[in-house]
Amino acid sequence: MMDIFYAALTLCCAILASVYGWKFLNWAWLRPKKMEKQLRQQGFNGKPYRFLIGDSKEIITMTREARSKPMNFSNDIIPRVFIFHDPIKNYGENCFMWFGPKLTAIISHPELIKENMLPSFYSSSCDMLSKWDAILSTKGSCELDVWPYLQILTSDAISRTAFGSNYEQGRKIFELQKELAGYLVNTAQLYIPGWRFLPTKTNRRIREITREVESSILGIINKRMKVIESGEANSDDLLGILLESNFQAIQQNGKDSGMSLEEVIEECRLFYIAGQETTSSLLVWTMILLSKHLDWQIRAREEVLQVLGCSTPSFKDLNHLKIITMIFHEVLRLYPPGIATGRVIHHETTLQKLTLPAGTQLVLPTILLHHDSTIWGDDAKEFNPQRFGEGVSKAMNGKFSYFPFGGGPRICIGQNFAMLEAKMALAMILKHYSFELSPSYTHAPDMVLSLQPQYGAHLILHKLGA
């Protein structure tokens, strides 16, 4: 009897081993090779797939080399920040790379790519300028790394606009999210299958932060939902609008029509990326470039003083800042917060004559198209806001070649938020300060969650009227 039991157990183990062995073989070898063959037949090029590791070794080496040293001041930042630069250079504009067994297809041909918040922005900007005034109070000018101040400004603004009366708790959530982002970026640079499941110190901290963030958001949501259900809702912040809209959808169409609790929590976590990283990146590169191009700084300040005078900026005022809008578009062209847009294809997809297999990670290299001299002219790598003097459409010359916030139905919903907040902050900075690059500034653009200055943004600030 025992012999039969052990024989059956052995057979079950053998079947399970065969099933999981086949799944592993398919995931780690057969499927990647099939996807590679399909892309090569359509003119894509890249290195042959290597079992489990893919191009991970080269990716790690390129990333480390790029970040190991700063560069001379130049807007030609692609080789430093864009890891797909070498594959495109070596294999052409339609190529692929391997992140372990995960296939990433890079398509860089442009023809294949088709008022309540203002008080919060104003308060956050005033808080930052008060800190600067305190530092400059005795001298009238000083050297300052503005990067951490701009990060606090945008974090403060999104905390106020996203969570309103729960502002302090919201700020704590965003601080945790920032810490979490740092861990995730570092671990992503080393691709080892299953690494995130190991009980390392970093992985334990990642799980702790995730639990704390979810618990904090859930606590805020539960309090808000009780208020909404009692009929006393006041949708004066992003979370309130989201919850009330979701509550109404469920009331009208049943519980299956609204967002789940998990989806609401994920949206709150997304507020951090969309509302903080994008705006702080835009502001810091704007200040750096205006420190280098003082003529444009002067023009922008003159416009601010003419449009705003001594009044508090209104929505209408900010929309009349044409020169600042041109400057922002040019900064976003040269230094887009997200240097590429990625999507995972869940079903086999056709783009003109190309057929991409399900499971492919598709990358649209924003920064390559933004710096392409065949699209933007010989001065593509130069700072020239005048190219946007007649608007974005005219500047693109009929090609879909400018998309700092993505495009189509999946365009970043935070783009208007980011532009409005950035206009408010820059207008107030220009009214009170002039600034220039410090000799200690080190030019080292670095792609973390967004494009950031690796060694900070050291500028010399001068208090106007001092």
Binding site residues for heme, as ranges? 412
**Burial call 336-375: b when 16+ CB within 10 Å, e when fewer:** bbbbbbeeebeeeeebeebebbebbbbbbbbbbbbbbeeb
Q: From CA 290, how far away is CA 23, in angstroms rounded?
A: 55
Q: From CA 163, how far away is CA 166, in angstroms rounded?
A: 5
Residue that has been written with the tokens 């974090």 in this structure:
155
Cα–Cα distances in angstroms (integers) from residue 17 to residues 3, 9, 52, 430, in the given order = 21, 12, 19, 67
Cα–Cα distances in angstroms (integers) from residue 58 to residues 27, 54, 100, in the given order = 21, 9, 11
Phi-psi group of 296: left, alpha or beta (phi > 0 → left; psi -120 to 50 → alpha; rest → beta): alpha
Q: From CA 443, how far away is CA 288, in angstroms rounded?
A: 10
**Residue numbering of the annotated binding site:** 412
Helix or strand holding residue 436 (H, E): strand 433-437
Give the phi and the psi of residue 194 in degrees, each rounded to 5.
Answer: 80, 0
Helix or strand holding residue 233 (H, E): none
